[in-house]
Amino acid sequence: MRRLLGVLTLLFSLTGISIAGTTVWAFNASFGDPHIQAYDLASGTAVADFVAPNKDAHRGRANGRGIAVAGTTIYYSLADTPNVYKTDAVTHADLGIAFTTLLSPGINSLALDGTSLWAAASQPADPSKPADDKIFQYSLTGMLLQTLTLPRPANTNLARDGFDVVPGGFVADRGSVPYDVYDSSGHLQKAFFITASFRTTGIAFDGLNYIVADAINGRLATFDAAGDYVRSVDLPRDLIAFGIVDLAVDRSLAAAPVPQFTASGVTNGASFTAGGIAPGEIISIFGSGLGPVAPAGLRLNAAGLVDTVVAGTQVLFDGLAAPIIFASNGQINLVVPYSVEGKSSVEVVTEYLGAHSAPILIPVVASAPGIFTLGQGQGAILNEDGTANSPRNPAQKGSIIAIFATGEGQTRPAGVDGKIAAAPLPAPMLPVTITLNGVDVTPLYAGSAPTLVGGVLQVNVRVPADAAAGIAPVTLRVGDALSQPGVTVALR
């Protein structure tokens, strides 16, 4: 239901090594008065070393943990408090508590994606209890934007003390090496991406390479974009007596970009064609600055509806927020509110972290059908046995197939924004027909797809017994509007 994003393409296409001039910030555990430090990656020379200034860090067993840096602002955390603290990298002044999280007993690791902070919880005080597998995204003002689960092997019970945001997702350890790569939804993409013979704590991705702390040998180790070891640099032993627990490189905060899109970037979510939008239609908006760097998927609110805010992203139709299915910097997938019914046009505004796009006027139509595809024209169609239709798995003549689409317009009973389809299943108010290989076929069922969000249309038809075998074109008509050309179904 969205274009493939190539989650790891950038991550594994990066080549080369850039070390000279790189400054790596580190948080040294130092029970009571933990030290914030900075090192030149080329030489290992310390360029900063000062005590974390907040009074909470000056208790007898206060343990420094997470660190993230944006320009001259340093964010840091302690193992036994849920607070994120701030200090100035130049003056070392205490800038107080940035915000308080929900993490318990504290925050083990921090990462910054440029516009928001990600945090992992500390190890539970009771060692028999499993560590939290979740990471939490917060705005810099403390708004919880999303929660993701990064699954680990069952025999691992350590809190993550190293993770960072990378293009398309995350890199995270299991309490030490190995480091694994996850996509932006938290799915494991590559296990054992970084391995080492030494114990590591903390990782920082500088846009080109990975730097980890060699906790036992007092070094910073560099790995390239493929996860291969490159070199290590020794650190002054007298500065790391208690061990580095987290690393960071400067993720300077540029001004939050203003979301931008045009009318041509508002497309049917199945056909990706622009034009008028219909009530309840799943659409995709393409532009820039639309959402988070790390893409985020839908979530259900307390009422069980698809939420209208995902990772700080909203889309407003004449001021009414729409259910969000997917949000990223360049693309948002959402459901058009049913309240646009009867209007000739609607003003669409996207919002990200409080920044609004210019309003764009989009025409409203009664229906705008589009059939979801699997690429190369193959429709998102299920055979009678529930398997996906394809040239290798064609549908039998006389069997029933299910075609998935969107853009049917208003339904009966009336559509509810963000509702997951359940009985009584809404049906389109406009007539629905299917043309299969040039022959009109009356649907056996045309209505909401059970268990999917309202706006996904399912049309069940019986393949004519005399249908020709092979790849056949299929067209959906809702009212007077037709779906996109080029969609096919495989028959035998």
- Residue 320 vs residue 224, higher pLDDT: 320
Contact 207, 200 (CB under 8 A): no
Query: How far apart, in Å, are the Cα atoms of 350 and each of 247, 258, 329, 355, 416?
Result: 35, 9, 11, 8, 21
Give residue 14's pLDDT: 26
Contact 335, 447 (CB under 8 A): no
Give residue 184's pLDDT: 81
Alpha-carbon distance of 434 to 457, in angstroms, equals 13
Report the range of poorest mean pLDDT among 57-66, 174-183, 346-355.
57-66
Q: Which of 1.10.357, 3.40.50, 2.60.40, 3.30.450 is the CATH number of 260-363?
A: 2.60.40
Give the three-class secondary structure for 11: helix
Mean pLDDT of 107-115: 90
> Which residues are CB-neighbours of 423 under 8 A, at least 6 positions away?
450
Confidence of residue 154 (pLDDT cuts 50, 70, 90): low
User: Which of 85, 84, 75 lies closest to 103, judged by CA?
Assistant: 84
Give residue 293's pLDDT: 65
Q: Which of 3.30.9.10, 1.10.10.10, 3.20.20.70, 2.120.10.30 is the CATH number of 9-248?
A: 2.120.10.30
Give residue 155's pLDDT: 65
Residue 282 has pLDDT above 60, yes or no: yes
Taking the domains of the chain in order of start, what are their residue ranges? 9-248, 260-363, 370-491
Contact 467, 436 (CB under 8 A): yes
Query: Strands, E, within 208-344: which ranges?
Result: 210-214, 219-223, 229-234, 244-248, 260-268, 282-288, 296-297, 313-317, 320-321, 324-327, 331-335
Give residue 11's pLDDT: 24
Alpha-carbon distance of 27 to 78, in angstroms, equals 10
The pair of three-digit structure tokens given for residue 352, joined into one six-digit string: 């990200």
Give residue 425's pLDDT: 95
Mean pLDDT of 95-102: 96
Contact 459, 444 (CB under 8 A): no
Q: Which of 2.30.31, 2.60.40, 3.10.620, 3.30.70 is the CATH number of 370-491?
A: 2.60.40
9-248 and 260-363: identical CATH topology: no
Residue 255 has pLDDT above 90, yes or no: no
Give the three-class secondary structure for 9: helix
The model's pTM is 0.58
Confidence of residue 175 (pLDDT cuts 50, 70, 90): confident
% of the chain residues with pLDDT over 90: 67
Mean of the per-residue pLDDT values of the chain: 88
Give residue 337's pLDDT: 98
